[in-house]
Structure 1
Amino acid sequence: MHIETQTGVIERGPDRRARYAAGKALRQIVPRETLADFTPAANRNALAIIAETERDRIQSLLPLRRKSMAESPHAFLRGAADVMAADLATQPAPGIRAQVCGDCHLMNFGAFISPEGHALFDVNDFDETLPEVDVTIDLRRFATSVVLAALGAGKSERGARAVARAAVKAYRRAVIELASLTPLQAWNRRVPLRDVVAKLRNRVLHQAVRAVASARQSEDDCADNFPKVVQGDAGARRIEDKRPRLFHLDDGAADQFDVDGLIAAAFANLPPHVASLLRRYHLADIAFKAVGVGSVGTYCTIALFLSPDEEPLFLQVKEAKRSVLERFGLGAWRGAQGERVVGGQRMMQAASDIFLGPMRDPASKREFYMRQLKTRRLGGLTELLQNHDLLDYAKLCGRTLARAHARSADAMTLAGYMGKSEAFDDALVSFAILYARQNAEDYIAFCAQHGATPALP
């Protein structure tokens, strides 16, 4: 049976049993045990790769980026996505493809507000996202991040292995569950923050997270927005500087791209109903923001919009560069980079921001994307959960990643490859332990190069 459409013929695909068998057959081609190994390439030079990524960043922000990366081995991993992408390009992979995050670590999950006003937990960073990439690219980086976070929390290597195994197991079990659903049911699956709170075993943590979540009254709660709005010298409302991560651009930096043209480009790419909503606000101020670890040095601005009654709306305008995965041959993208990021977020997130949209600066020709800025309280939940209950947080992230992958991958094929035993879990965790050791060596060399004292557990 097939259906004729304007774009071609949609053939009836194999059923669940056949797709599970196809995934299981992949074990003969790429045995799960082969995923456990990591041997660095003979010509590997992590510091050279990092230096290459710094060439087109804002040079005045490189000291902040290096300081951030030197804080811990986990922070170094976050800033060295290019290094790991280069390493993963030489590793075996089963070829089960999906839209991937591309920079999948524990700090790139978080809580946000859906357009309907619901607090959700999801993957929350897509700067390196790419379609049609093997899912183990995300899983290897995710498992390594869990190991490093556990080691940083004072656990032994054996303890870190146990936490990472639980996280990968949570992913595998979630994929198996999603495989039993219809495509529409799997697509609509969400992770409400209230369910996350309800499952917390630590009573003190449960109360703290619940208080943070319930403190969010509405998206226009001025006390909850970040950054802070203050009165300028001329009486106009503006964004308060908080150096070194939030500040107004000097004339030289500001002239590198056309802010007015960028905002105009944003309007052109928004759906008409969203553009109509944004026109009810006016642009009052724009400031530079150095975000995260890996993104420090790329162009990222916070635009303050005000309603006629001076109610604030913060939008983040961030540069979209070529994905590190594409740079090292793990995937390909032929369109605009802003469209890549926006498309990846819409594919992987259960509910995307209504202001999310790509744009291009007409002056510099740089690619950007726009989205609404997260509130401070919800943005801090990631740190709160990770610092107080790493095991449950890692498992939550594993389940969330499974849901994100299942929106584009065939969950039944993936379930067939992973299987019901813990062979897949053990293999991924063994790789993560080996890569964590390599990451520690790179981290020490990086600190030595930049005169920083390594913070090793």
Structure 2
Amino acid sequence: MAPISDNPGKKIRDKVPRTSQGDFSLSPKRPTILQAIEASNYDRVTDLIPIRCGRMSTSPFAFYRGTADIMAHDLSFLPHTSLQVQAMGDCHLMNFGGFATPERNLIFDANDFDETLPAPWEWDIKRLATSFVLAARHNNMRETDARQMAIDMASAYRLAMAEYVQMNTLDLWYMKFEMQDLLNKARSEKVKTVLKDAMDKAQKSTPEKAFYKITQSVLGSFEILDQHPLIYHPIDLVKQKKMVQDFLNFYMNTLQADRRFLFSQYRIIDIALKVVGVGSVGTRCLVALMMNAKDEPLFMQIKEARTSVLEAYTSKSKHKHNGERIVQGQRLVQAASDMFLGWSTGEEGRHFYLRQLRDRKIAPDVEHFDKDVMAAYAGLCGKILARAHAKTGPGDVISGYLGKADVMDQAIGKFAVTYADQTEKDYAEFVKAIKAGKIKAEVM
């Protein structure tokens, strides 16, 4: 890395002062909330749209999770350095978590890439910072603490970036945030307890446990249990057998040869549509039950891959298939990815990507985090995001721009508070539209 005085990142400060990264103002081209929601509901399963809106209506933070498209629009009009990375796109604190690597080690990493695309690095860090402010407010923390969460995350990002750009490139790509290592290094007993409980829970999250939880025996064979409207069977597997097999054949050709061989030992037993998350509700998300000759279950999640919300504001994806865009972006960013991660094309030319369902997954229980645990989590997310950006973008230039002082940290804290305020205003408008009958919402 060049000395800070020679680093081109420092020169960028003349055109884009770090303090300007804290500024926020609405574009006159911004659509109304009602217009934005209607646009985002395009081509979703009609019956599920009220459930999506219902889930978004539960809090400003839930609303924020479902409106990555609105923030992408807002960010595109704000100052940025034009330095691109493989952005997560929907980078909020619930899109990080733990899962098992193919070697069966538990690691912590970014884990949602539906919107991933090359884009300015600031877009990820600003969305992540704002999510911490909203989550802290949701947990009734003091306003000073809410802002500090965003600053802590930005500080961790800046310091980690400075460290990572000095690392050997291969070492950076090999680096993983292993859960056991995080537990060993944790200084707070509260954090240790949270990590230990999460790891214990993850070890029990096996395909066998999922099998007994979401299946039922019918006439000697197994099928996924309907829980309409959250889980139901959208197709007749027998009548559409050829379509399903063609779909799986396409998918298998996106896997490495050894993983293709392993997957070929499983046969499909059942497929059901399963409503998941907040922003994904209404898209075609399915779960497939597979079994091998030893009657061992394998659950696959099949998620519809739509155009990234970032694509309207940055360069188009080089991948014509949105499933491939997501898979290749995920492989770039994560330290290790699911061994069955791949993509396929379904009916009407719809794009999908596939991965295992519930493979020792750890979802952060953010609603029960206190100030100390939330602060530690903010620092961890900041480090993980910095590693992703250092791997896929000009990390040395970004680090030079950030510098050694906390100027950017404070700017990100300022932005996060201001944008969280805007999100709460948008949320109030959204709820008002629901009450007026302009938006139909069902909470379930």
TM-score normalised by structure 1 residue count: 0.89
* Contact 1:19–1:413, Cα closer than 8 Å, also in 2: no
> Which of 69, 74, 78 is the aligned partner of 1:82?
69
Aligned residue for 1:151? 137
Structure 2 residue aligned with 1:321: 306
Following superposition, the deviation at residue 229 of structure 1 comes to 4.5
Partner of 1:340: 325
Tell me by how many angstroms 1:201 deviates. 4.5
Whole-Å separation in 2 of the counterparts to 1:220 and 1:160: 36
2:13 matches 1:31: no
Q: Give the letter for the 2:363 counterpart.
A: G
Matched, 1:111 2:95: no
The Cα of 1:63 is off from its aligned counterpart by: 1.1
Taking the TM superposition and a 5 Å limit, the aligned residue runs for 1:82-101 are 82-101=69-88
Q: 2:349 is paired with a residue of what secondary structure?
A: coil
Once the two structures are TM-superposed, the CA of residue 16 in structure 1 deviates from its matched residue by 3.3
CA distance in 1, matches of 2:122, 2:362: 27
**Pairing partner for 1:446 from 412, 422, 430:** 430
- Which amino acid is the alignment partner of residue 377 of structure 2? Y
Q: Give the match's secondary structure for 1:266.
A: helix
CA-CA distance at 1:29 after TM superposition: 1.4
Counterpart amino acid of 2:115?
E
When residues 439 and 226 of structure 1 are mapped into structure 2, their CA distance, relative to the original with a 3 A threshold, is farther
Query: In the TM superposition, what are the counterparts of 1:80-229 in structure 2 within 5 Å?
Result: 80-131=67-118, 133-203=119-189, 206-214=192-200, 216-217=202-203, 222-223=208-209, 225=210, 228-229=213-214
The CA deviation at 1:226 is 6.6
How many angstroms apart in 2 are the aligned matches of 1:16 and 1:244?
A: 57
1:408 to 382, 392, 399: 392
Deviates more, 1:54-63 or 1:199-208: 199-208
Aligned to 1:17: 3
2:254 is the counterpart of 1:269: yes
Give per-residue Cα distances to partners, 1:379-401, cap 9 Å, x unaligned: 33454874682111111111111
CA shift at 1:125, angstroms? 0.2
Contact 1:209 1:381 in 2 (8 A): no
Asked if the contact 1:32/1:423 (under 8 Å) is kept, the reply is: yes
Question: 1:62 corresponds to which residue?
Answer: 49
In structure 2, relative to structure 1, the CA distance for the partners of 1:435 and 1:117 (3 Å cut) is same
Cα pair distance change 1:59/1:353, threshold 3 Å: same
Q: Which runs of 5+ in 2 are unaligned?
A: none
Provide the C-alpha distance between the structure 1 equivalents of 2:243 and 2:66, rounded to a whole number of angstroms.
Answer: 28
1:147 aligned partner, one-letter code: V
Alpha-carbon separation, structure 1, partners of 2:322 and 2:235: 27
1:188 is aligned with what amino acid?
Answer: Y
Structure 1 stretches lacking a partner, 5+ long: 1-14
- Measured after TM superposition, the shift of residue 203 of structure 1 is 2.9
SS at match of 1:325: coil
Please state if 1:394 is matched with 2:378.
Answer: yes
> Deviations along 1:303-338, whole A, 9 cap, x unmatched?
1111212111111111111100002x2232142111
Taking the aligned partners of 1:227 and 1:200, their CA distance within structure 2 comes to 35
| 1:430 has 2:414 as partner | yes
Query: For each residue in 1:417-450, what CA deviation from the matched residue of structure 2 results, as whole angstroms up to 9, or x when unmatched?
Result: 0011010011111111111111101001101111
What's 2:281 paired with? 296
Q: CA deviation at 1:101?
A: 0.1
Structure 1 position 279, deviation (Å): 1.1
Amino acid at match of 1:378: K
Counterpart residue identity of residue 273, structure 1 = D
Q: Is the 8 A contact 2:4 2:403 kept in 1?
A: no
| Distance in 2 (alpha carbons) for counterparts of 1:452 and 1:159 | 35
Q: CA deviation at 1:451?
A: 2.2
CA contact (8 A) 2:306 2:351 kept: yes
Q: Name the amino acid aligned to 1:339.
A: E
Residue identity matched to 2:46? Q
Kept after mapping to 2: 8 A contact 1:228/1:239: no
Among the aligned pairs, what percent are the same residue? 38
8 Å CA contact retained: 1:50, 1:82: no
